[in-house]
Structure 1
Amino acid sequence: MRYDLTDLSLFRHIVEAGSITHGAQRANLALAAASARVRNMEQSVGTPLLERSRHGVTPTQAGRTLLQHARSILEQAERLREDLGVYAGGHAGQVRVLSNTNSLTEFLPEALGSFLVAHPNVSVDIEERLSDEIVGLIAEGVGDIGIVAGTVDAGSLRTFPFRSDRFVLVVAKGHDLAGRKRISFAETLDYNFVGIDRASAIQRFLSKKANSVGRPLRLRVQLRSFDAVCRMVENNVGVGVVPLTTARWAAKTMGIHAVELTDPWAVRNLTICVRDYKGLPYFARQLVDHLREERTEIT
């Protein structure tokens, strides 16, 4: 039974993506080459590693065992590369970060920018997910660092405070709700919404909140950024939910008004979570320390 690091990395990508096609793309391999590698791995072990269906693939029990060892081996290989990088004239490494939408759009760009300037040989792979998904994936070793809403149960993960913000409703000046100071999310569901792309974590979160009170979220248009949401709101296309930091910045140049959401989930204390701080690769520990250095509280 012989698996090289490319095999193990490919298998990890396939399981995490839930698809051989998407896993091959993540591993930068042609689909035919990826499929051949999977077949060879299954022939080598003598049993299927993946259960295939029209909805994608999931690991068999043998596949889950391989995945567990693959993650451990790949993590050790990454640490070896980082340690030997010192003798090659400098460090080199990659940090895998899973983040919810709020952190990804409002806080991480600036924090990661300063970190990457200080560490030019480090790369950061960022993936957007829902907070509860992130906790499970970090526990499984899918990523090094997670940024989640503080309301999520992190279980046995080690956590550190990151940032604080709140979601607010933004409406055009002159809108029916522009005179309100506070409102519940349920009350806003009578109006058309401008939202973020359906695949985004925050849009899925808001849809779930609407469904929980038996109401649909009436989305008229979906965009790629909170800034674009504010511009559509300014033009009376609908109302939107954005971070307070975005609303304050946008209100300086746009005709919008922010209304406080009274729902407890609107206040977002963002948290860093890791499986084992001491067990993190060197640069991942440095990134955690960097993210913790400055905290921004809502006022």
Structure 2
Amino acid sequence: MRFDLVDLKLFLAILEAGSITAGAARANLALPSASARVRGMEETAGTPLLVRSRAGAVATPAGEALAHHARLILQQSERMRGELSRYGRGLKGHVRLWSNTAAFSVGLIGDLARFLARHPDVDVDLQERPSREIAPALRGGLIHIGLLSDVGDTLGLETRTYGEDVLMAVLPKGHRLANTPGAGFADVAALPFVGLTPGNAIHQLIETHAVALGLPLKYRVRVNRIEAVGEMVQAGVGVSVLPTADALRVAERTQVEVFTLPEAWARRRLVVAVRDLQALPEFARQFLDGLGG
């Protein structure tokens, strides 16, 4: 039974993305090529590996077994490449890193620049992703390292603190709360609210604390882009709460006011996470050591 590394990476990407189409895009393959590879894997295995439906694709029991071994093989392959790269110029290390937006504002770019300057034979594939996508990608073996908020699900991952991000209120220009001493989340939660789409980890946290105060949020609208939040607030539709990096970006581009929420829970811990530290290739461990240093 023979599968190449491209096959294995594609299969994991499909499971992570939930469909062959999205998995092909993540694996940088054309859809016809990806479909042909999946059919070839199933023919080689002699059994279906995916259950296909209009909703997407999920693994069969045989597919789950393949995914387990694929993760182990890909991790070992990366570790081999990292160790061999010390002995010759033919192989280079390649760190796959996903980070949420907040980590960019607490030093990631500086850490990355210093590492790349010291390690000319190692490349870094950096992608900005929401925290809710990073933890599953780590568990699935799609990336080496993730930078995410600990508000999300980090169960089963090895983590350490990287930095801190504070939530900020976003208000229409000239709003009275912007200059009200002692204003906090309770004042914001009592106003018409502009939210992000259901499932967003930050707004799940916000909703939990609003309910605890007896002030369930009164959503005027929920949108799927940070920029759209800023536009809605600027127009006077309502107020919002965003991470510092997002709030400051919105404030630069739209006519809004922002202030830091004083509540302790509004300070979120950013963590650097890996699936298995011992299984990381050496070059990825070196990069990890430099984060936050």
* TM superposition score normalised by structure 1: 0.77
Residues 1:206 and 2:203 aligned together: yes
Q: Is the 8 A contact 1:182 1:260 kept in 2?
A: no
Look up the SS of the partner of 1:178 in the other structure: helix
Separation (CA, whole Å) in 1 of partners of 2:60 and 2:131: 25
Q: Is the 8 A contact 1:220 1:238 kept in 2?
A: no
Q: Is the 8 A contact 1:167 1:261 kept in 2?
A: yes
1:242 matched to which residue of 2?
242
Alpha-carbon spacing, 1:30–1:172, altered in 2? closer, same or farther (3 Å): closer
2:184 matched to which residue of 1?
183
Look up the SS of the partner of 1:242 in the other structure: strand
Look up the SS of the partner of 2:278 in the other structure: coil
2:292 matched to which residue of 1?
292
| Shift, 1:38, TM fit | 0.9
| Letter paired with 1:73 | I
| Shift, 1:161, TM fit | 1.5
Among 218, 224, 233, which residue is 2:220 paired with?
218
Separation (CA, whole Å) in 1 of partners of 2:136 and 2:245: 28
Separation (CA, whole Å) in 2 of partners of 1:245 and 1:37: 41
| Letter paired with 1:183 | G
Q: Is the 8 A contact 2:169 2:242 kept in 1?
A: yes
Q: Which moved more, 1:109-118 or 1:232-241?
A: 232-241
Separation (CA, whole Å) in 1 of partners of 2:29 and 2:247: 42
Separation (CA, whole Å) in 2 of partners of 1:90 and 1:240: 51
Separation (CA, whole Å) in 2 of partners of 1:269 and 1:158: 15
In structure 2, runs of 5+ residues without a counterpart are none
Separation (CA, whole Å) in 2 of partners of 1:159 and 1:243: 21
Paired positions, count: 286
2:129 matched to which residue of 1?
128
| Shift, 1:117, TM fit | 4.0
In structure 1, runs of 5+ residues without a counterpart are 294-299
Separation (CA, whole Å) in 2 of partners of 1:176 and 1:40: 64
| Shift, 1:69, TM fit | 0.9
| Shift, 1:151, TM fit | 4.8
Q: Which moved more, 1:244-253 or 1:33-42?
A: 244-253
Alpha-carbon spacing, 1:29–1:245, altered in 2? closer, same or farther (3 Å): closer
Measured against aligned partners, the alpha-carbon deviations of 1:262-283 in whole angstroms (never above 9, x if no partner) come to 5554111211122332321122
| Shift, 1:87, TM fit | 3.8
Separation (CA, whole Å) in 2 of partners of 1:77 and 1:253: 44
Residues 1:34 and 2:31 aligned together: no
| Shift, 1:186, TM fit | 7.8
Backbone CA RMSD of aligned residues: 3.6
| Shift, 1:52, TM fit | 0.9
Q: Which moved more, 1:144-153 or 1:164-173?
A: 144-153
| Shift, 1:20, TM fit | 0.8
| Letter paired with 1:217 | Y
Q: Is the 8 A contact 1:14 1:20 kept in 2?
A: yes
* TM superposition score normalised by structure 2: 0.79
| Shift, 1:67, TM fit | 0.8
Alpha-carbon spacing, 1:136–1:185, altered in 2? closer, same or farther (3 Å): farther
Look up the SS of the partner of 1:12 in the other structure: helix
Look up the SS of the partner of 1:64 in the other structure: helix
| Letter paired with 2:220 | R
Look up the SS of the partner of 1:182 in the other structure: coil
Identity of aligned residues (%): 41
Measured against aligned partners, the alpha-carbon deviations of 1:108-167 in whole angstroms (never above 9, x if no partner) come to 344334433443441224352335x64454344343222232455644533222111211
Residues 1:5 and 2:5 aligned together: yes
